[in-house]
Amino acid sequence: MSLLQAFTEAPRLGQLYMAYQPQWSLHSGEIIGFEALMRWRTADGRHVSPDAFIPVAESSGLIIETGRWALITALQAVGQLRRAGLQGFHMAVNVSVMQFQAPGFVDMVQQALAQTGVGAEALELEITESVAMAGAQQVLQILASLKAMGVGIAIDDFGTGYSSLSYLHQLPADRLKIDRAFVSCLGSGERSAQIAEMVLPLGRQIGMKVLAEGVETSEQARLLAALGCDEAQGYLFAKPMPLSELLEWIKVRP
Residues 138-167 that bind Mn ion (CB under 5 A): 156
User: Is residue 90 classed as helix, strand or coil in its secondary structure?
Assistant: strand
223 binds ligand G per the rule CB under 6 A:
no
47 binds ligand G per the rule CB under 6 A:
yes
Residues 97-156 that bind Na ion (CB under 5 A): 156
230 binds Na ion per the rule CB under 5 A:
no
126 binds Mn ion per the rule CB under 5 A:
yes
**Among residues 168 and 178, whose Cβ is nearest to ligand G?**
178
76 binds ligand G per the rule CB under 6 A:
no
156 binds ligand G per the rule CB under 6 A:
yes
51 binds ligand G per the rule CB under 6 A:
yes
H or E element at residue 60: helix 50-60
- State the residues that interact with Na ion by CB under 5 A: 156-157
- State the residues that interact with ligand G by CB under 6 A: 14-15, 17, 21, 37-38, 41, 47, 49-51, 54, 67, 70, 94-96, 156-157, 180, 213-216, 234-235, 240, 242, 245
